[in-house]
Amino acid sequence: MTELATWTDYAYQLAKQAGEKILTYYQDSESITADYKADQSPITVADQAAHEIIANGLAEYVLDHQGAAPLLSEEGRQIPFLERQQWSRYWCVDPLDGTKEFLARNDEFTVNIALIVNHQPVLGVVYVPAQRAGYLAWRGGGAYACDQQGQQKRIVSKIPPAQPLRVLVSRHHGLDYLQPWLVRLGPTELISQGSALKFCTIASGQADLLLRLSPTSEWDNAAGQCILEEAGGEVFSFEGLPLTYNRAGTLEQPHFIAVGDKDSDWKRFFPSSFR
């Protein structure tokens, strides 16, 4: 087993632990109230409890002779770019991605853990607590779906796009802003889904395309991007550039497109967007 594979397995087990903790709150979620951050996104005690489990587990995990890697978590401390720009690698974590899904009790929330090296995710874990299952990948090792028993099955997204195209959209953003883009795609089947689960749905061949034109942060995308790319897909901005990490003071990422078959000519649908 390679180092990356070993690190990925550790991250997956840690995500499972956090997921089990989240489920203890989920089973009694009617009594949970949400606080709201400055950007009006919700946060609950489940987010914070999952963060503590992951932060403690990663702090004590020595990767190699360079030691442990620093942590960037949605629920952790705000880290100024002057500090972050010194990092050549770091953990990028969303301990409960899809808090709105958690509060809505629709099961579509995840635990996301990625390791970023030189501005790119080299391993990714997306665990789905309500299913007690998840997805993982590491650079050069492929992408896998993991069932409740821990059995891993390799997944491949690179299949000819369906007709009509199966397009993933967010549950919590209206469709009006997407209409100009959907018209370009022709006949489509829209699939509403929350959290980083959207990346995994494409990675497992159950959808073809994700258009993301609403705000996201690094921890929303890193793990899912790694899984999708290792399954044969691609993630790129509307300028045709790959998503990168820890390159600027802001943690917000550009609007992007995620596709299952990287060899299809997706850019023909958006000629004015690519230079």
Per the annotation, binding residues for substrate are 74, 96-99, 220
CB 84 within 8 A of CB 8: no
Amino acid identity, position 150? G
Q: State the pLDDT confidence band at 268, using cuts at 50, 70 and 90.
A: confident
Evaluate the CA torsion angle 187, 194, 70, 67 in order and state its sign.
negative
Q: Tell me the whole-structure pTM to 2 decimals.
A: 0.95
Given a contact cutoff of 8 angstroms between Cβ atoms, the answer to whether 56 and 32 are in contact is no
Q: What is the pLDDT of residue 32?
A: 77
pLDDT single digits (tens) 65-114: 888 999 999 999 999 999 999 999 999 999 999 999 999 999 999 999 99
What topology does CATH give the domain 165-269?
Answer: D-Maltodextrin-Binding Protein; domain 2 (3.40.190)
Spell out the domain ranges in the chain. 3-155, 165-269
- What's the pLDDT score for residue 49? 96
Quick one: which of 63, 79, 92, 75 has its CA closest to 21? 75
The class of domain 3-155 in CATH terms is: alpha beta
Q: Are 4 and 140 in contact (CB under 8 A)?
A: yes
Of 28 and 128, more confident: 128
pLDDT at residue 19, rounded to an integer = 98
Inter-residue contact 242 to 138 (CB < 8 Å):
no
pLDDT at 114: 99
Q: Which tens digit of pLDDT belongs to each residue from 178-237?
A: 888 888 888 999 999 999 999 999 999 999 999 998 889 999 999 999 999 999 999 999
- Residues belonging to the binding site for Mg(2+) are 74, 94, 96-97, 220
Q: Enumerate the known binding-site residues.
A: 74, 94, 96-99, 220
